[in-house]
A and B are shown apart, each in its own frame.
Chain A
Amino acid sequence: MINENTMELLLSSFPKILEYGLKVTLPLAAIAFILSTVLAVIVAMIQYAKVPILKQICRFYIWIIRGTPLLVQLMVAFYGLPLFGISINPFLMAVIVFTINEGAYSAETMRAAMEAVPAGQMEAGYCVGMGYMQIIWHVILPQAFRTAFPSLFNALISMVKDTSLASSITVVEMFTRTKQIAGQSYNYLPLYIEVAVVYLLFCTILTYLQKRGENFLGSYGVRK
């Protein structure tokens, strides 16, 4: 099945596929993940602190985002934003949609992790004279982050693969690039297997990083 031509195609396409992985797929996932984590912490804090009105807005946001497919969200942004005179490049749009999408899921992860911190930690903070935000910042968030870390990292790994959906809003990422090459060569299967291997490679590296991260955070001494 693997003849010389296929072998040559695989070898010549590999750098091109990898290039788009490193130039588009990974940056898209990484930037959106970082921004979504920031968003998630803010949304989680609002809910944890039970801020009136803002809390309802957060619940509404999470309800909408978790109740609709990512692909639909991408399309709505793609066709909807121009109606408001907003024209941004597809990559940036993908970053925004992925951030908002992942933010909703991670917010729930973070909120649950914050609520899992024993109430005594907050009380101990009050009793040494600390204020609410000081306790959140120095005590609650670090512990919640340690609890949430594996789930958050899971989400990152999912996102690396979900970036292929960005092709629907004309972002040429790793999978789209592979499709282009495959279309030129009429030799689809080997290239799709090849791109699958590259995704697998990325996710393997991330899994390794997750382990390192957990060990690092584990040195908090929080009981394992």
Chain B
Amino acid sequence: MGLLEVTNVHKSFGDTQVLKGINLKVDKGQVVSVLGPSGSGKTTLLRCINFLETADEGYLNFDGNSYHLPKASKKNIADIRKETGFVFQNYNLFANKTVLKNVTLGLTSARKIPAKEAEKKAYDTLKKVGMLEHMDKYPSQLSGGQQQRVAIARALATDPKILYFDEPTSALDPQLTAEVLDVMRDLAKDGMTMIVVTHEMSFAREVSSHIVFMADGVIVEEGTPTEFFENPKNSITRDFLRLTSVE
């Protein structure tokens, strides 16, 4: 039984169909990388799974419970979100809070955990991402890579059952990208379940247990990294891989 399974996810914006029936299954401890050209619907898929967008159709099975995506209640959504973490492309750290407060806020306000306890938890996760010494700074005082590592710590602090990453390194230069990918590698080693939308081919290849390739709102190919990278079956996949390896 998978930890998370979505079936038949559809989503349109106006007349544009962005997701045309996506099925995806993630087992506990798996790292699933979602690849695909720009505009294929990767971000929209993650956002639908975490209810940042309301899907037009589809089911989510999460941790043994099933939800109809367009009809999930506020209460269900809130409960699911408390068990999941989301890392955004542009970090989205709370601009008016220090690094420490960014990490504790979800604990103290949403989960009513006492401040002392929340801080202890925050120290742990900030240490894990190597940002403990910056805990009193504000987001605007950090580099992009540092901000993203804080965002990961913020997501981790809530002990999520699964973490979603939406191109966490695409706004970063190679050196800062490496910082963030290292943190994600450690998480994978610790057995964290993750769905990672990424353009980092070597990361996807090394770290993922499963690769999903999307194009134009559908999953056109999926498999293990070896299958996917060494023996792609679909011509769109082959073109995509050829283009990205040229980069």
Q: Which residues of A contact B (CB under 8 A)?
A: 118, 120-121, 123-131, 134, 138-139, 142-143, 146, 220-223
B-chain residues with CB within 8 Å of residue A139 when the two chains form the complex: 94, 96-97, 105
B137 / chain A contacts, CB cutoff of 8 Å: 221
Known contacts A123-B88, A128-B155, A220-B138, A138 near B95 by CB under 8 Å: no
Given contacts A128-B81, A142-B96, A221-B98, 18 further A-B contacts (CB under 8 A): A121-B95, A123-B86, A124-B88, A124-B92, A124-B151, A126-B81, A127-B52, A128-B85, A128-B154, A129-B81, A131-B78, A134-B110, A143-B95, A220-B138, A221-B138, A221-B139, A222-B95, A222-B96
Task: Collect the chain B residues with CB atoms within 8 Å of residue A120's CB.
Answer: 88, 90, 92
Assembly CA distance A133 to B154 (angstroms):
20
- Whether A143 contacts B96 by the Cβ 8 Å rule is yes
Chain B 66-99 per-residue mask, 1 if CB under 8 angstroms from chain A, else 0: 0000000000001001101110101011111110
Q: B111 and A123: CB pair below 8 A?
A: no
Residue contact B96 to A146, C-beta cutoff 8 Å: yes
The chain B residue sitting closest to A140, CB to CB, is B96
B154: chain A residues within 8 A (beta carbon): 128
Residues of B within 8 A of A129 (CB): 78, 81-82, 106, 110-111, 158
Q: Nearest A residue to B89 by beta-carbon distance? A: A120
Q: How far does the Cβ of A140 sit from chain B's closest Cβ, in whole Å?
A: 9
| A/B interface sample: 10 pairs, CB < 8 A | A125-B94, A126-B81, A128-B154, A130-B110, A139-B94, A139-B105, A220-B95, A220-B96, A221-B98, A221-B138
Chain A, interface SS category: helix
- Chain A residues lying within 8 Å of B105, measured Cβ to Cβ, are 128, 130, 138-139
Interface size of B in residues (CB-CB distance below 8 Å) = 32
- Bound-state CA distance A128–B106 (Å) is 5
Pick the residue among A123, A128, A138 that contacts B158 (CB under 8 A).
A128
State in angstroms the CA–CA spacing of A127 and B83 once bound together: 9
CB proximity of A178 to chain B, nearest CB, Å:
44
Q: Which residue of A lies closest to B81 (CB)?
A: A129
Chain A residue at smallest Cβ distance from B105: A138
The residues in B between 133 and 166 inclusive whose CB is less than 8 angstroms from any CB of A are 137-141, 151, 154-155, 158
Query: What sequence of 0s and 1s flags, for each residue 109-143 of chain B, a beta carbon within 8 Å of any chain A beta carbon?
Result: 11100000000000000000000000001111100
CB distance from A124 to the nearest CB of B (A): 4
Chain B residues with CB below 8 A from A127, complex form: 50, 52, 81, 84-86, 155
**Cα(A37)–Cα(B86), bound, Å:** 35
Whole-angstrom distance between the Cβ of A43 and the nearest chain B Cβ: 22
State A131–B106 Cα separation when bound (angstroms).
Answer: 10
**Which residues of A have CB within 8 Å of B151?**
124
